[in-house]
């Protein structure tokens, strides 16, 4: 019988990160997936990053993950969104060559020494009761062309995405499958129910793909990428970036005719006919949803995005639908530029089982089934980046579980990944969860530019990043410190010549000497202006210059956030055992006790974020825990 430390079920974006992390940390790892040629496949849009998602890709990279570096190898258009706004909301987005993305991911994973890739379907889990009567997963049952039987492992990570009992819908047509051309994972859900896990039905959809030569590009508006291309990866991008030629996307709009066709046929949509019961992503709505919900809008913008350099497919971002194919043809042909569009693939929706993530810990391990981890779309999220962010955490923790190492948890103040996991495990998700900057309370601290400074020290500590990356990190860190010291000790004096320079650049004259650091705090001043005023540095690295500018300009706000964080940190440090009996705490209402018992928070910080748990109840709980000196409560070091 085959035996591994960690089995990862699935080769999507969560599975790739989980398998890479577990293998990097020295766990003997197997990735079992339905089709190995689809490892790293982008099931929907050909882009990585975007608002708040870009931050998560950078965090995955800073932790030693693979999504950022694979994106850098596959980018065909780069844009930094919100680049003229504050640093908290700046986010990178890369349009990718889909085929190359998957190929690059496959070759990277195949080169990992501790990872074996097995093609096949996991039909079930090997479940046994341990000595304490607790159900435990000891491996998986697999059927494949090479091998049918059992594969044992100390821990299992399920990253089954949209595949559990998946049904694809288009009008009245229904077909089993997690993605066009793929089968459904039919039996795994049953074993999850046997383990006592609660499942729910969710839905997502994808737009049609059109042939590029059938589009009249002359009536669409080109959307070029940025002139300055920034890599996602802090450690692997610079020497190869940009690896590919860059292309334009194009913009067109729906119109009243389009809306009329959709409205007339809305009863034929699988979503509106009642054929789909699962809940869809509110923030990534189908065109039927947009037209029903925003009746006052006379047009919706659509981005025509090439799926690659050598492919004919154009992804029509903005018209995901589950309408029948003849209706899709009719409404698409009413859109400027798409009058004669030839469909390569019709749009469809997919409905699938997901687990209620409130049953998981911050490590993404199941609270009641030691060694069983979940990551990605199966936890109720939507999006490649959300999947990758969970995948790396589940992979690190699955490896740590098998190797007897401590849990690896990211808090809300450490990263968007921490915010996402905290939201999922405390609130669950009634609809596919996607990340937004507004979900993070410390978003000025959780910027994409400082993801390495925030997270790489932890990745270095656990071994996700090696000596090479540590060296790159140390050099950048010391360059930042050097530049900060240079600007704090460089002064401008109120001479006539200096003030002529100041006014020439549109700056107010100075009356006293002023340091370059103080001047940089002004919103209108940047390093390029400082250089014109005579400040000299040999630092030319964009990420170092940007980092110092942000740290100096926003220092006041950053300091305020850090002070607020102190209390939060202390609350996170006070652990609560998952088996804690809230009934013995005096002064808690029955309603609050049942909320706490249902969610079983892992620390006081989590308890305070459960909806309906009052500050008074939290204070009560805290005093009780402190006074009783509960044995298993440990202080975690930050």
Asked if 382 interacts with ligand FAD (CB under 6 A), we say yes
Task: Number of helices (H) and strands (E) in the chain: give both, helices first.
Answer: 20, 22
Give CA–CA dist 527/525, Å, rounded: 7
Give CA–CA dist 280/285, Å, rounded: 7
Please identify, among the stretches 88-96, 201-209, 413-421, 609-617, the one whose residues bind ligand FAD according to the rule CB under 6 A: 201-209
Asked if 32 interacts with ligand FAD (CB under 6 A), we say yes
Shortest Cβ 35–ligand FAD spacing (Å): 6
Asked if 285 interacts with ligand FAD (CB under 6 A), we say no
Task: By CB under 6 A, name the one of 8, 15, 189, 261 that touches ligand FAD.
Answer: 15
Which of residues 386 and 546 has its CB atom nearest to ligand FAD in the complex? 386
Shortest Cβ 385–ligand FAD spacing (Å): 8
Please give the radius of gyration of the chain, using alpha carbons only, rounded to the nearest integer.
Answer: 26
Distances (CA, A) of 309 to 47, 80, 98, 302: 14, 21, 9, 20
Which of residues 15 and 87 has its CB atom nearest to ligand FAD in the complex? 15
Asked if 387 interacts with ligand FAD (CB under 6 A), we say yes
Distances (CA, A) of 527 to 288, 399, 479, 508, 575: 48, 44, 15, 17, 45
Chain centroid to Cα 570, Å, comes to: 27
H or E element at residue 129: strand 121-129
Which of residues 142 and 426 has its CB atom nearest to ligand FAD in the complex? 142
Q: Which of residues 204-233 bind ligand FAD (CB under 6 A)?
A: 204-206
Which two structure tokens, joined as six digits, stand for 319?
A: 């018209």
Spatial CA neighbour of 34 closest among 169, 188, 143, 165: 143
Asked if 34 interacts with ligand FAD (CB under 6 A), we say yes
Spatial CA neighbour of 104 closest among 377, 308, 392: 308
Shortest Cβ 428–ligand FAD spacing (Å): 17
Give CA–CA dist 206/191, Å, rounded: 29
H or E element at residue 188: helix 188-194
Please identify, among the stretches 125-133, 158-166, 322-330, 514-522, the one whose residues bind ligand FAD according to the rule CB under 6 A: 158-166
Helices (H), 428-538: 451-462, 467-488, 496-504, 516-520, 527-533
Shortest Cβ 162–ligand FAD spacing (Å): 4
Please identify, among the stretches 153-161, 321-329, 459-467, 605-613, the one whose residues bind ligand FAD according to the rule CB under 6 A: 153-161
Asked if 11 interacts with ligand FAD (CB under 6 A), we say yes
Which of residues 95 and 206 has its CB atom nearest to ligand FAD in the complex? 206
Which of residues 37 and 471 has its CB atom nearest to ligand FAD in the complex? 37
Chain centroid to Cα 165, Å, comes to: 24
Task: By CB under 6 A, name the one of 8, 9, 335, 420 that touches ligand FAD.
Answer: 9
# residues contacting ligand FAD (CB under 6 A)? 37
Which of residues 183 and 482 has its CB atom nearest to ligand FAD in the complex? 183
Which two structure tokens, joined as six digits, stand for 605?
A: 């910080």
Residue 191: Cβ within 10 Å count: 18
Which of residues 9 and 410 has its CB atom nearest to ligand FAD in the complex? 9
Binding mask 43-72 for ligand FAD (x = CB under 6 A): xxx---------------------------
H or E element at residue 2: strand 2-9
Which of residues 10 and 362 has its CB atom nearest to ligand FAD in the complex? 10
Asked if 394 interacts with ligand FAD (CB under 6 A), we say no
Which of residues 175 and 486 has its CB atom nearest to ligand FAD in the complex? 175
Binding mask 495-534 for ligand FAD (x = CB under 6 A): ----------------------------------------
Give CA–CA dist 247/78, Å, rounded: 9
List phi, psi (to 5°) of 10.
115, 140
Which of residues 372 and 519 has its CB atom nearest to ligand FAD in the complex? 372
H or E element at residue 605: helix 604-608
Asked if 12 interacts with ligand FAD (CB under 6 A), we say yes
Give CA–CA dist 323/287, Å, rounded: 10
Task: By CB under 6 A, name the one of 5, 6, 10, 66 that touches ligand FAD.
Answer: 10
DSSP state of 475: H
Give CA–CA dist 74/94, Å, rounded: 9
As a residue count, the chain comes to: 638
Cβ–Cβ < 8 Å for 307, 314: yes
Cβ–Cβ < 8 Å for 447, 414: no
Chain centroid to Cα 374, Å, comes to: 15
Which two structure tokens, joined as six digits, stand for 343?
A: 């469909």
Asked if 383 interacts with ligand FAD (CB under 6 A), we say yes
Which of residues 206 and 258 has its CB atom nearest to ligand FAD in the complex? 206
Task: By CB under 6 A, name the one of 66, 89, 100, 122 that touches ligand FAD.
Answer: 122
Which of residues 47 and 607 has its CB atom nearest to ligand FAD in the complex? 47
Shortest Cβ 538–ligand FAD spacing (Å): 42
Shortest Cβ 491–ligand FAD spacing (Å): 50
Give CA–CA dist 30/23, Å, rounded: 9
Asked if 33 interacts with ligand FAD (CB under 6 A), we say yes
Shortest Cβ 16–ligand FAD spacing (Å): 7
Give CA–CA dist 146/487, Å, rounded: 64
Which of residues 122 and 197 has its CB atom nearest to ligand FAD in the complex? 122
Please identify, among the stretches 34-42, 146-154, 474-482, 604-612, the one whose residues bind ligand FAD according to the rule CB under 6 A: 34-42
Asked if 284 interacts with ligand FAD (CB under 6 A), we say yes
Give CA–CA dist 69/60, Å, rounded: 10
Judged by the rule CB under 6 A, the positions of this chain that interact with ligand FAD are 9-15, 32-35, 38, 43-45, 121-122, 159-163, 179, 185, 188, 204-206, 284, 320, 350, 376-377, 382-384, 387
């Amino acid at each position: 019988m085959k035996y591994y430390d960690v089995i990862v079920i699935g080769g999507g974006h969560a599975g790739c990160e989980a398998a890479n992390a577990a293998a990097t940390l020295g766990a003997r790892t197997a990735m079992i997936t339905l089709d190995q040629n689809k490892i790293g496949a982008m099931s929907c849009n050909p882009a990585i990053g975007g608002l708040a998602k870009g931050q998560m890709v950078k965090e995955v990279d800073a932790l030693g993950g693979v999504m950022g570096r694979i994106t850098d190898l596959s980018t065909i258009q780069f844009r930094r969104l919100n680049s003229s706004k504050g640093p908290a909301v700046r986010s990178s987005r890369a349009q990718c060559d889909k085929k190359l993305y998957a190929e690059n991911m496959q070759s990277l994973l195949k080169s990992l020494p501790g990872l074996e890739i097995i093609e096949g379907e996991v039909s079930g889990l090997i479940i046994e009761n341990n000595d304490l009567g607790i159900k435990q997963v000891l491996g998986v049952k697999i059927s494949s062309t090479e091998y049918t039987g059992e594969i044992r492992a100390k821990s299992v990570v399920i990253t089954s995405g949209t595949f559990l009992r998946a049904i694809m819908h288009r009008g009245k047509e229904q077909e089993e499958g997690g993605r066009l051309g793929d089968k459904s994972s039919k039996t795994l859900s049953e074993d999850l129910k046997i383990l006592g896990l609660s499942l729910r039905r969710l839905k997502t959809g994808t737009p049609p793909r059109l042939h590029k030569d059938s589009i009249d590009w002359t009536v669409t508006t080109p959307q070029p990428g940025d002139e300055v291309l920034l890599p996602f990866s802090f450690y692997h991008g610079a020497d190869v970036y940009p690896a590919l030629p860059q292309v334009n996307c194009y913009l067109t709009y729906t119109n009243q005719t389009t809306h009329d066709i959709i409205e007339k046929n809305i009863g034929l949509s699988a979503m509106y006919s009642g054929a789909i019961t699962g809940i869809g992503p509110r923030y990534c709505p189908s065109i039927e949803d947009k037209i029903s919900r925003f009746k006052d809008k006379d047009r919706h913008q659509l981005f025509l995005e090439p799926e690659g350099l050598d492919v004919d497919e154009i992804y029509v971002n903005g018209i995901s639908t589950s309408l029948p194919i003849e209706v899709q043809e009719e409404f698409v042909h009413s859109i400027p530029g798409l009058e004669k569009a030839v469909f390569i693939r019709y749009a469809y929706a997919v409905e699938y089982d997901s687990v209620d993530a409130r049953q998981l810990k911050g490590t993404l391990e199941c609270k009641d089934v030691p060694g069983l981890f979940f990551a990605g779309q199966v936890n109720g999220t939507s999006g490649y980046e959300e999947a990758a962010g969970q995948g790396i955490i589940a992979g690190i923790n699955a490896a740590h579980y098998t190797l007897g190492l401590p849990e690896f948890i990211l808090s809300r103040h450490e990263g968007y990944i921490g915010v996402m996991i905290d939201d999922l495990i405390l609130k669950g998700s009634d609809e596919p969860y996607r990340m937004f900057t507004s979900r993070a309370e410390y978003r000025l601290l959780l910027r994409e530019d400082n993801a390495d400074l925030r997270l790489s020290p932890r990745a270095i500590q656990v071994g996700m990043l090696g000596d090479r990356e540590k060296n790159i990190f140390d050099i950048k860190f010391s360059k930042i410190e050097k530049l900060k010291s240079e600007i704090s000790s460089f002064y401008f004096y109120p001479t006539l010549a200096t003030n002529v320079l100041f006014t020439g650049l549109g700056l107010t004259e100075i009356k006293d000497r002023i340091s370059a650091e103080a001047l940089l705090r002004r919103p209108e001043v940047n390093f390029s202006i400082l250089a014109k005023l005579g400040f000299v540095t040999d630092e030319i690295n964009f990420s170092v210059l940007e980092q110092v500018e942000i740290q100096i300009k926003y220092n006041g706000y950053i300091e305020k956030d850090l002070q607020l964080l102190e209390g939060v940190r202390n609350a996170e440090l006070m652990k609560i055992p998952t088996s804690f009996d809230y009934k013995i705490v005096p002064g808690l209402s029955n309603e609050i006790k049942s909320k706490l018992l249902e969610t079983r928070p892992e620390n006081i910080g989590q308890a305070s974020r459960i909806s309906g748990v009052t500050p008074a109840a939290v204070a009560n709980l805290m005093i009780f825990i402190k006074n009783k000196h509960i044995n298993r409560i440990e202080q975690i070091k930050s």
